[in-house]
C-alpha cells in the first residue's frame, strides 16, 4: 500500500465515527463504539508507520529545535504531510469523542461542536466550552449529570 492509499483510507475510516456521533448520538451502538478505544488503534498504527518512515536524521535534527521554515520544509514531503494529516485525524476524532461523551453526560447539545471539530478541531473545542458556559448561565438549575455518581446521589 502506498502513502496516497493510506492517506485516503484514513480519511474514509474516520467518517463513520463522526457520522455516528453527529447523526445518531443517542443510539446504543454509538455509545458502545465511542466508549471504546478501538477506533483509534488503526489510525495510531498508520500514524506510527508514517512517523517512522518520514523521520530522517536531517529532519529529526530540524524538528528537535523547530523553526517555522524547517517545519514547512518537513511538511513539503508527501510522507511527512500524510503523517501530519493522520495526526490531525486521530486527535480531532479523540477530541470529538470527548465532546460527544461530555454531551452524553451533561445533556448539552453538541452537534454544532462536533461538526466544527470534524472540520477545525480547536474550534469545536471552543464551541463546546462556550456552549457549556452559556447553558450553565441561562439554566440556573443546570447540573452536570456525571455517570459515575455515588449510590447516595442517585437515590430519589
Tell me: the pLDDT tens digits for 1-32?
Answer: 899 999 999 999 999 999 999 999 999 999 99
pLDDT of residue 70: 85
pLDDT of residue 145: 56
Taking 60 as the threshold, does the pLDDT of residue 73 lie above it?
yes
Handedness of CA 64, 68, 74, 79 (dihedral sign): positive
CA distance from start to end of the chain: 57
DSSP 144: -
pLDDT of residue 58: 80
Taking 50 as the threshold, does the pLDDT of residue 151 lie above it?
no
pTM of the entire predicted model: 0.84
CA triple 30-31-32, angle to 5 deg: 95
Grouping H, G, I as helix, E, B as strand and the rest as coil, residue 46 is: helix
Question: What b/e string do you get for 98-118 counting C-beta neighbours within 10 Å, with b at 16 or more?
Answer: ebbbbbbebebebeebbbbbb
Amino acid at each position: 500500500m502506498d502513502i496516497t492509499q493510506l492517506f485516503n483510507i484514513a480519511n474514509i475510516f474516520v467518517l463513520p465515527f463522526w457520522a455516528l456521533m453527529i447523526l445518531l448520538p443517542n443510539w446504543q451502538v454509538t455509545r458502545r463504539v465511542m466508549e471504546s478505544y478501538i477506533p483509534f488503534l488503526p489510525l495510531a498504527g498508520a500514524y506510527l508507520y508514517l512517523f517512522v518512515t518520514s523521520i530522517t536524521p536531517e529532519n529529526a535534527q530540524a524538528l528537535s529545535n523547530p523553526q517555522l521554515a524547517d517545519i514547512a520544509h518537513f511538511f513539503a514531503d508527501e510522507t511527512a504531510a500524510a503523517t501530519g494529516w493522520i495526526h490531525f485525524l486521530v486527535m480531532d476524532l479523540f477530541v470529538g469523542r470527548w465532546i460527544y461523551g461530555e454531551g452524553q453526560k451533561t445533556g448539552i447539545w453538541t452537534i454544532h461542536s462536533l461538526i466544527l471539530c470534524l472540520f477545525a478541531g480547536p474550534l469545536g473545542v471552543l464551541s463546546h466550552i462556550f456552549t457549556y458556559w452559556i447553558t450553565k448561565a441561562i439554566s440556573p438549575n443546570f447540573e452536570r449529570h456525571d455517570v459515575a455518581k455515588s449510590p447516595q446521589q442517585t437515590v430519589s
